[in-house]
Amino acid sequence: MSGYLDESDFMMVEEGFTTRDLLENLLMEGNKGAFFVADLGDVVKKHLRFLKALPHVKPFYAVKCNSSRGVVRTLAALGAGFDCASKTEIALVQSIGVPPDKIIYTNPCKQIAQIKYAASHGVQLMAFDNEVELGKVARSHPHARMVLCIATDNPRSSARLSVKFGATLKSCRHLLETAKEMNVEIVGISFHVGSGCLDLQAFPRSIADARLVFEMGAELGYKMHLLDIGGGFPGTENSKFVFSLATINSALDLYFPEGCGVEIIAKLGRYYVASAFTLAVNVIDKQEVPLDPPGSDDEESSSKKNILYYINDGIYGSFSCIFFDHTCPRPTLHKSCPFHLEEDRIADGLELPELQVGDWLTFENMGAYTIAASSSFNGYQQPQINYVMSREALRLLQGKLPQPEEDRESLCTPLSCGWEITDTLCITPVFTPARIT
Ligand code: PLP
């Protein structure tokens, strides 16, 4: 595993057991705070599937999405590159031995001190989208190899990054000319269709735009050789991903065919980590509250109880994804009902069997933009992360097993290496009413 990861970094899920067995053991231990189970085998399998699905694209991992030790080390062991947005992220990946040529510093608006840090640590590949940034790089990093980040039109993404980043096609010629005048080397073009992208045409459209800018560069004498197609790939079950892969492959074949001398990379965040993490939280208190306003005589509703449950994690912690990533994590949902969020509640209107203090709830798909954006507000500690991997996934990671034969349909199925596949697994997060009191 190239020294990045060893067996003491995770718990091994032996043959005959599942990651869920392990989770349930942890739930039974008692006196625990909220915790994650992070299935590193899931990350391994996602990596192999990506290589198979987009064979001409080299994956980089967007560290911002989840910089936890096990994830970063597993991806380094798999040979992925790293997309860093800051000095701290560069330092993190370099601290485990990732060489600078496997790092791209993608923030298009960098502090001068951090550009100098990249320069002194051998990181050359960096992104930009404006003239001021070019000036800073020209003065602070003479060996920089710059990638021009272009804007994309992505109204159907949960995080529309082009609202703040990306040069318009109109401004690209001027930026390329300015870079020439400033003697800054431009090696390629990048884009990001937006995180949580649901528009299947966003990739082909952006790939075609990137081709236009390559042509523009060629007219100005540039020999660009790098295309960065960014992230935006879903990390949970989503059949649209299969189709978007096909559209990406055909757009790449059309505009950047094999042998055209352009290296293609992607910077994946949520794709790698979303489904690998399951969060277990504990009910620590509860309180019955009126269901209807006083005076209401609705008979049906008066037979129901409205209970507020207090759990040991929240929106200032791992559930910050509700605000920042626009997700709705739920332990289970029995019938559709109005769902709204107020202040620091994580969910309203869920129908649950009555819970007791000490009961556990588990939330799946909690790997992307959860821990990364959590705080220690109220003095809460980040939940402990329990890394696990199945022996089969470990052998895959070590290259000791052939890659599983999977058809294209299965590229988007849940990928963990040990979960039992149940009917409900793909549809709703699992509710684990394991009482430990
Ligand atoms: N690259 C850059 C520059 C980003 O800003 C982001 C997300 O914000 C990513 C990659 C990862 O995106 P995703 O998690 O959608 O794959």
* Atom 7 (ligand 1) nearest CA: 195
For residue 63, report the distance from its CA to the centre of ligand 1, in Å.
9
412 has pLDDT over 60: no
pLDDT value, residue 433: 31
CA separation (Å) from 12 to 100, 275, 307, 420? 31, 18, 39, 16
Beta-carbon contacts of residue 50 (< 8 Å; ≥ 6 apart): 57, 59, 266, 268, 271
Query: Could you tell which of 57, 61, 63, 83 is best to mutate to test the pocket of ligand 1, judged by most ligand atoms within 8 Å of the CB?
Result: 83
- Domains, the chain, in order of start with CATH, read 41-274 (3.20.20.10)
What does the alpha-carbon distance between residue 346 and residue 382 come to, in Å, rounded to a whole number? 17
pLDDT value, residue 213: 98
Beta-carbon contacts of residue 288 (< 8 Å; ≥ 6 apart): 305, 306, 307, 308
> If DSSP codes are grouped into helix, strand and coil, which group holds residue 210?
helix
Please write the tens of the pLDDT for every residue from 72-87. Answer: 999 999 999 999 999 9
* Atom 3 (ligand 1) nearest CA: 106
CA separation (Å) from 212 to 41, 106, 172, 206? 39, 21, 10, 10
Ligand 1 pocket (Cβ < 6 Å) reads 62, 65, 83, 106, 159, 161, 192, 195, 230-233, 267-271
What does the alpha-carbon distance between residue 21 and residue 420 come to, in Å, rounded to a whole number? 9
pLDDT value, residue 306: 83
Ligand 1 atom at minimal distance to the Cα of residue 159: 8
pLDDT value, residue 341: 39
pLDDT value, residue 145: 98
Please write the tens of the pLDDT for every residue from 317-357. Answer: 898 888 777 777 777 432 223 333 344 566 666 777 788 88
418 has pLDDT over 50: no
Q: What percent of the chain has pLDDT over 70?
A: 80
pLDDT value, residue 173: 98
pLDDT value, residue 294: 60
* Mean of pLDDT over the chain: 83
CA separation (Å) from 22 to 35, 147, 240, 385? 13, 44, 31, 13
Mean pLDDT of the 394-420 span:
57
ipTM of the complex: 0.97
For residue 212, report the distance from its CA to the centre of ligand 1, in Å.
23
For residue 315, report the distance from its CA to the centre of ligand 1, in Å.
21
DSSP conformation class of 182: H
For residue 151, report the distance from its CA to the centre of ligand 1, in Å.
14
> If DSSP codes are grouped into helix, strand and coil, which group holds residue 63?
helix
Q: How many residues does the chain have?
A: 437
* Atom 14 (ligand 1) nearest CA: 269
